[in-house]
Amino acid sequence: MSEYIPSANIARTRKGQAHFVSDTDETGLGAVDAVADESAPSSMWGEAWKSLRKRPLFWVSAVIMVVAILVALFPHLFTSVDPRFCELQNSLKGPTDGHPFGFDRQGCDIYSRVVFGARASVSVGVLSTVAVVLIGGIIGSLAGYFGGWLDALLSRITDIFFAVPLLLAAIVFMQMFKDHRNVIMVVVVLSAFGWTQIARITRGAVMSAKNEEFVTAARATGASTWRILASHILPNSMAPIIVYATVALGTFIVAEATLSFMGIGLPSTIVSWGGDIQQAQASLRSQPMVLFYPALALALTVLSFIMMGDAVREALDPKARNQ
């Protein structure tokens, strides 16, 4: 038999034990469970922006990216010197008034070439990234959403292209079309073999999103297949695609610089960082600064996109955001 202890704070208990219960009016459940309903719920992108704006890494990379894009779009705002105007009498001269970086072996202004070289390098990176996102996004979304034989076919095609190294394929095709080397040709070659990773990422994200409840609700309202894919599934699958595209942009800039360094990328008539690094090899021992400036511009630009990708990835990943 249990023994009843008459107390406001002690409930029915067994012999030798006491169960203490607080008074109902002391719990304050209403205050604990109260939720402010006047504010709108935050979306995934809203939460990501709250996380991003608190990270110094994001602001540093954003500033460098904005400067690189402005230099690529409006080089005349940063220098009035023609990068192709060279005088041999200025060969390997140090910094002078109006020429803060000095001159290269051909007597060209290094600062002017660094500024104008951003246009070709950044253009190749941006255009290649846009192309691979479109190609890989379409292939990956179709394979992930419809599945079946279409998924098997597109996945095997993706595997075939994925097995070909990007740089090796670019070298072969640029050699084949060496008489037509320009920015568009480099973009076409890089995007033709660089879309596979985006396709895999998109396929996985679409396969995960198509089983969500909002897709079932959209089907119940009579939305068409293409409307569901374009308006509901793809917008909710963009997070990993954006993260990879940001990092891939820097990768394509490096790929263009590598091809130009090897002499099979952009021709010498087009100013680019890779071409200037290649020409600076001959002056590396006597004047290493000739190579340092274009290499520094290339490294900072690529690093900014990689840092931005890392910052966006951590902001969009709830686990990383809570650490």
What pLDDT shows up at residue 11? 47
Q: How many other β-carbons are positioned within 10 Å of the β-carbon of residue 64?
A: 17
Q: Look at residue 37 and tell me whether its pLDDT is greater than 60.
A: no
What are 253's two structure tokens? 């800039």
Check residue 227 and give its pLDDT.
87
Alpha-carbon dihedral sign for residues 300, 305, 310, 314: positive
Residue 225 has pLDDT above 90, yes or no: no
User: What is the pLDDT confidence band of residue 232, given thresholds at 50, 70 and 90?
Assistant: confident
Tokens of residue 78, six digits: 């940063």
**What integer is the mean pLDDT of 256-260?**
90
8 A C-beta contact, residue 301 and residue 64: yes
Question: Phi and psi (nearest 5°) for 10?
Answer: -125, 125
Q: Is a pLDDT exceeding 60 seen at residue 6?
A: no
Contacts of 201 (CB under 8 A, 6+ apart): 136, 140, 240, 241, 244
* pLDDT of 184 above 70: yes
- Is 273:114 a contact under the CB 8 Å cutoff? yes
In degrees, rounded to 5, the angle at the alpha carbon of residue 317 between the alpha carbons of residues 313 and 322 is: 120
Average pLDDT over residues 264-289: 86
Q: Which amino acid is at 173?
A: F
pLDDT, residue 321, reads 53
pLDDT at 322: 53
Does the pLDDT at position 250 exceed 80? yes
Q: In the structure, what pLDDT confidence band is assigned to residue 9 with cuts at 50, 70 and 90?
A: very low
| Burial (Cβ within 10 Å: 0-12, 13-18, ≥19) of residue 160 | exposed
Is 70 exceeded by the pLDDT of residue 41? no
Taking alpha carbons only, the member of 277, 272, 304 closest to residue 293 is 277
Q: Name the more confident of 280 and 34.
A: 280
Q: What is the dihedral sign for C-alpha 5, 11, 13, 17? A: negative
Share of the chain above pLDDT 70, in %: 84
Superfamily of domain 61-322: MetI-like (1.10.3720.10)
- Alpha-carbon distance of 167 to 285, in angstroms, equals 29
The average confidence (pLDDT) of the chain is 83
Who contacts 236 (Cβ-Cβ below 8 Å, separation ≥6)? 209, 212, 214
Partners of 202 in the β-ladder: none
Q: How confident is the model at residue 63 (pLDDT cuts 50, 70, 90)?
A: very high
Angle at 137 between CA 132 and CA 139, to 5 degrees: 100
Q: Between residues 187 and 181, which one has the greater pLDDT?
A: 187
pLDDT given for residue 93 in this prediction: 86
pTM of the complete model? 0.80
* Helix, strand, or coil (residue 106): coil
Residue 1 predicted with pLDDT over 80: no
Q: What is the pLDDT of residue 7?
A: 47
Name the token pair of 274.
């890779």
**For the residues 122-134, what does the mean pLDDT come to?**
93
Report whether pLDDT(38) > 70.
Answer: no
Runs of H (alpha helix) within the chain: 29-33, 44-52, 56-73, 110-146, 148-162, 166-176, 183-194, 196-209, 213-220, 225-228, 238-261, 273-279, 289-316, 318-322
Window from 74-78, 231-235, 302-306 with minimum mean pLDDT:
231-235
String of DSSP letters for 157-169: HHHHHHTS-HHHH
* 37 vs 111, more confident: 111
pLDDT of 28 over the 70 cut? no
Check residue 22 and give its pLDDT: 54
